[in-house]
């Protein structure tokens, strides 16, 4: 009999498993797919030697997440961190660029440089306090109330109709809107603004690192540490009910609320089950990967040095595209999130070739292939792009939902990203990781702090499981026995 069962070997399930194994407990992990990783898998999707990240590609939280910092991830795997974290192309060959230096970013934003520095400066300066506030449950008294207030006021400004009162030109608004649109929400909105401000602050402080060899290296580091501490991983082992698991003291579930309801069945109290069934999932994404015969020919040549590019144009154009999706429509000119890893990691493609990772947002459950629309947007800001395409492959929102049970309807955020969705995740509770079933915890991105490769849902759930069931503290997670989250 194992002390702990973990269902799901995504980054959150693996994080939870590592913590429990490091605490000296016996751990078994059950993963339905043939490989671990969930949202951190890398594969030769189209041609040998061309490696694409299947889900996540660039990792703003890899250097900042309290879990990954305690785990010393940056010392376990190699990262390439571009000097330009992200950029937004505009017409006329112009682009707004977010450098790892806030001063340099502001210097290139023209008349809005000072206003941008005033907006972002306190968040960059107080990065650790912002992380502490945003990477936990919102229904609590913040440890650093002054910084929480700073963050909240800026979120209110950029998440409401006040968002255009600070700036006079179009570069800074486009830059902020591009990063806010990661949240798969209408623009402006509080959830999108909060996510965007956090990610932008990380871009100016730590950069947005790209794992050398692909996102699978993150999962590999977690799985390797788990195995080194006695944990056992069973791949190709789908779990259809909690009763099918071997006996254990604790069960940690890296599953969506729908998955928890299915696994637990009638053992859940009726009220809690109704809350899970009422959980709201967000819109989806259509992902398109490319193999190119050369680098993207951006009209704004400076974008070649950016690891991530938010394609869509001005703030008004980006908002129009995202609001069409929020209204259930497929935009003709979508917001396209682009990651270009191969210029920074030569292992991704043979010499002379490049891999390109893109997606755009679509209504939940969409079966529409958005390749033509994404290619059109890239051609718009990178004339000649079409001529470089060797091969492409699309995965619709519906297919994303089939690939990963947690991506219901293609929603890789595992829940609607709005104010209610941030508080009711998956239920309104001071300890939402704890279920009514003793010893059963949920640790997916459907729990705080939400989406992103952070390991934090796993850390929070494991912390309560250790405390509730075993009376143990969170162990040191570093390679040399140091490092506590």
First-to-last CA distance in the chain? 28
Using 50, 70 and 90 to split pLDDT, how confident is the model at 417? confident
Q: Which two tokens stand for residue 383?
A: 């004339």
CA-to-CA distance for 335 and 182, rounded, in angstroms?
A: 10
Sign (positive or negative) of CA dihedral 56, 371, 98, 445: negative
Mean local confidence (pLDDT), 157-164: 94
Mean local confidence (pLDDT), 427-451: 96
Mean local confidence (pLDDT), 271-289: 95
pLDDT at 142: 85
Q: From 97, 357, 66, select the one nearest 210 (Cα to Cα).
A: 357
Mean pLDDT of the chain: 96
Using 50, 70 and 90 to split pLDDT, how confident is the model at 422? confident
pLDDT tens for residues 16-57?
999 999 999 999 999 999 999 999 999 999 999 999 999 999
Buried-exposed string 158-172: b where 16+ CB fall within 10 A, e elsewhere: bbeeebeebbeebbb
pLDDT at 386: 98
Q: From 165, 211, 160, select the one nearest 190 (Cα to Cα).
A: 160
CA-to-CA distance for 75 and 73, rounded, in angstroms?
A: 5
Using 50, 70 and 90 to split pLDDT, how confident is the model at 479? confident
pLDDT tens for residues 372-406?
999 999 999 999 999 999 999 999 999 999 998 89
Name the percent of the chain in helix, strand, coil, to the closest 5: 40, 15, 45
With contact defined as beta carbons under 8 Å apart, do 218 and 11 qualify? yes
* Cβ-proximal residues to 316 (8 Å cutoff; 6+ apart), any chain: none
Least confident range from 115-129, 153-167, 358-372, 470-484: namely 470-484
pLDDT tens for residues 298-314?
999 999 999 999 999 99
pLDDT at 481: 67
Using 50, 70 and 90 to split pLDDT, how confident is the model at 421? confident
């Amino acid at each position: 009999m194992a002390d702990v069962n973990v269902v799901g070997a995504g980054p959150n399930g693996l994080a939870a498993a590592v913590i429990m194994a490091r605490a000296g407990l016996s751990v078994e992990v059950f993963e339905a797919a043939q490989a671990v990783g969930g949202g951190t898998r890398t594969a030769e999707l189209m041609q040998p030697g061309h490696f694409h990240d299947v889900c996540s590609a660039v990792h703003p939280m890899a250097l900042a997440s309290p879990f990954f910092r305690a785990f010393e991830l940056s010392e376990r795997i190699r990262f390439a961190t571009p000097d330009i974290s992200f950029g937004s192309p505009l017409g006329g060959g112009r682009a707004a660029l977010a450098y790892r230096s806030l001063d340099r970013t502001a210097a290139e934003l023209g008349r809005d440089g000072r206003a941008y520095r005033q907006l972002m400066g306190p968040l960059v300066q107080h990065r650790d306090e912002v992380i502490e506030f945003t990477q936990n449950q919102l229904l609590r008294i913040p440890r650093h109330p002054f910084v929480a207030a700073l963050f909240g006021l800026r979120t209110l400004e950029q998440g409401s109709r006040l968002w255009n009162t600070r700036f006079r030109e179009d570069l800074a608004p486009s830059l902020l809107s591009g990063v806010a649109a990661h949240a798969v929400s209408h623009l402006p909105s509080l959830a999108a603004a909060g996510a965007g401000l956090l990610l932008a602050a990380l871009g100016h402080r730590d950069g947005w690192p790209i794992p050398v060899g692909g996102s699978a290296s993150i999962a590999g580091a977690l799985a390797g540490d788990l195995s080194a501490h006695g944990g056992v991983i069973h791949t190709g082992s789908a779990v259809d009910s909690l009763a099918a698991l071997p006996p254990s003291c604790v069960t940690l579930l890296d599953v969506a609320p729908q998955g928890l309801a299915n696994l637990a069945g009638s053992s859940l109290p009726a009220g809690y089950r109704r809350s899970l069934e009422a959980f709201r999932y967000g819109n989806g994404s259509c992902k398109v990967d490319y193999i190119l015969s050369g680098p993207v020919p951006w009209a704004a040549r400076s974008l070649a040095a950016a690891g991530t590019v938010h394609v869509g144009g001005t703030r008004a154009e980006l908002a129009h595209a995202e609001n069409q999706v929020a209204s259930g429509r497929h935009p003709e000119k979508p917001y396209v999130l682009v990651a270009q890893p191969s210029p920074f990691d030569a292992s991704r493609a043979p010499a002379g070739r490049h891999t390109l990772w893109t997606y755009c947002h679509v209504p939940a459950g969409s079966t529409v292939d958005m390749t033509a629309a994404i290619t059109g947007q890239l051609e718009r800001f990178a004339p000649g792009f079409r001529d470089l395409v060797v091969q492409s492959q699309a995965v619709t929102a519906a297919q994303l939902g089939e690939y990963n049970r947690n991506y219901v309807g293609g929603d890789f955020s595992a829940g609607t990203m709005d104010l209610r969705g941030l508080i009711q995740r998956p239920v309104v509770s001071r300890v939402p990781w704890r279920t009514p079933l003793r010893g059963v915890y949920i640790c997916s991105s459907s729990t705080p702090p939400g989406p992103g490769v952070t390991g934090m849902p796993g850390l929070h759930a494991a912390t309560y499981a250790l405390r509730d069931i075993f009376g143990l503290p969170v162990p040191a997670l570093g390679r040399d026995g140091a490092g506590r989250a």
